[in-house]
Copies of this chain bind each other. A is one copy, B any other.
Amino acid sequence: MARIVQKYGGTSVGSVELISKVADRVARLFHAGNQVAVVLSAMGSETDELVAMAHEAAAEPDPREYDVLLAAGEQKSIALLAMALMDRGVPARSYLGPQVSIQTEARHGTARILNVQCGQLEADLKKGCVPVVAGFQGVDDRGNITTLGRGGSDTTAVALAVALDAAECQILSDVDGVFTTDPRMVPNAQLMRRVTFEEILEMASLGSRVLQIRAVEFAGKHNLPLRVLPAHADGEGTLITYEEPDMEAPLVSGIAFNRDEAEITLMNVPDRPGIAHRILAPIAEHDVEVDMIVLNAPKDGRVDFSFTVHRSNYDRACELASQATDGLDGVAVIGNSQVVKISVVGVGMRSHAGIATRMFEALAGEGINVRMVATSEIKISVLVDERYLELGVRTLHEAFRLDVTRQ
């Protein structure tokens, strides 16, 4: 018997038939003696349809009204699930964001949760009633409906689970869990049974397919066990906790990757204090996110300064970098927008040297040139030519024995 918050994604509640299946699943969990609270997204493509309507109604939809419109999506799904549960003899009750209440910043489209008042939900759980809460939405201090941004339902679920002191927050969707790498690229990618918060954050490109990174951060901050599992299939999914893997576990947990990277290098930049700031400040000011940053050791008072941005920002970033170094003699800006980033991630590598060595060795063995390297305590990322993406991922997946079934 435990207190569990379950969140079902849009695809999992895409029709009344699927909502009925969700009701069966929740009913089983409830009848097994658990206290269950459910958070739902809007049904299937409902949100997309509402977005399309907004853009048909107004050239630039007002943000407040946009949120009112979008919030109607979850209102439908929670009412339908609550009635389906009651139809199965499970006491249930739907709650909209303002009814819980889930209080957010007074900001539309991407509001952050400030506070969750779940006294009524607590009372429901204690008396054996299943609260069914609208994900993605909240209310600001003046009673306006706000939304949390795409994928915000995950954050709603985690915030509720934390406020209700739940034993576990389960994110149910149409995927089986988090894999050692993208199964579409490496067919023998393995489902990870356990993974740490730190790892999942470093593997954003893998994790973000199944849950919102903001929700992972929130859960990590409050040490709330998060589980990713399939909504309409059997399987224990992937449990995300702070627990470190045991001795037998592999050093590397997964291979993440980011397509659509672009690399910009400023050659022969004078090596003097503040030069990095002079280059990056205007880029940051223009809301261009910089990922990897590499500064080589100086040679003859000059350094090569490299960084990566998302490919969509490549032209802009090149231009800003040129402007920033305009008037600096001998500096050349060169770039490459056909690169990708591959990362090996694992808390196990913390205490083990040699991961980088094995990584470079494996890549070299396939003739893959490493253009840039960035390291963190539990991640090593390399930038390689786009054409080596699949080969690189497969090579590393094999090199670190991730294709072997783990417990």
A residues near B (Cβ < 8 Å) are 16-17, 19-20, 23, 50, 53-54, 56-62, 64-66, 68-69, 71-73, 75-76, 78-84, 86-87, 92-94, 96, 98-99, 143, 145
- A94 contact set on B, CB distance < 8 A: 64-65, 68
Asked whether B83 lies within 8 Å of A65 as measured between CB atoms, the reply is yes
Q: Which of B57, B71, B72, B87 contacts A58 (CB 8 A)?
A: B87
Q: Which of B59, B61, B76 contacts A53 (CB 8 A)?
A: B76
- A60 contact set on B, CB distance < 8 A: 87
Asked whether B53 lies within 8 Å of A82 as measured between CB atoms, the reply is no
- Which chain B residue shows the least CB distance to A17? B56
- Which chain B residue shows the least CB distance to A74? B72
Q: Name the distance in Å between A53's Cβ and chain B's nearest Cβ.
A: 5
Asked whether B75 lies within 8 Å of A72 as measured between CB atoms, the reply is yes
Asked whether B65 lies within 8 Å of A16 as measured between CB atoms, the reply is no
Count chain B CB atoms within 10 A of each CB in A56, A57, A64 and give the residue with the most: A57
Assess A69 versus B75: contact at CB under 8 Å? Given A53-B16, A93-B64, A143-B99.
Answer: yes
Q: Name the distance in Å between A133's Cβ and chain B's nearest Cβ.
A: 12
Question: What is the count of identical protomers in the complex?
Answer: 2
Q: Name the distance in Å between A38's Cβ and chain B's nearest Cβ.
A: 13
How far is B50's CA from A19's CA once the two chains are assembled, in angstroms? 14
- A69 contact set on B, CB distance < 8 A: 75-76, 79-80, 83
How far is B86's CA from A82's CA once the two chains are assembled, in angstroms? 36
- A98 contact set on B, CB distance < 8 A: 98
How far is B81's CA from A73's CA once the two chains are assembled, in angstroms? 17
- A64 contact set on B, CB distance < 8 A: 93-94
How far is B57's CA from A56's CA once the two chains are assembled, in angstroms? 31
14 example contacts (A-B, Cβ-Cβ < 8 A) are as follows A20-B57, A53-B76, A57-B84, A65-B83, A65-B94, A66-B79, A66-B83, A68-B79, A69-B80, A71-B75, A72-B72, A72-B73, A72-B76, A72-B79
- A54 contact set on B, CB distance < 8 A: 79-80, 83
- A99 contact set on B, CB distance < 8 A: 143
Asked whether A83 lies within 8 Å of B71 as measured between CB atoms, the reply is no
- Which chain B residue shows the least CB distance to A81? B57
3 tightest A-B CB contacts, nearest first: A69-B79, A58-B87, A68-B79
How far is B65's CA from A75's CA once the two chains are assembled, in angstroms? 10
- A87 contact set on B, CB distance < 8 A: 57-61
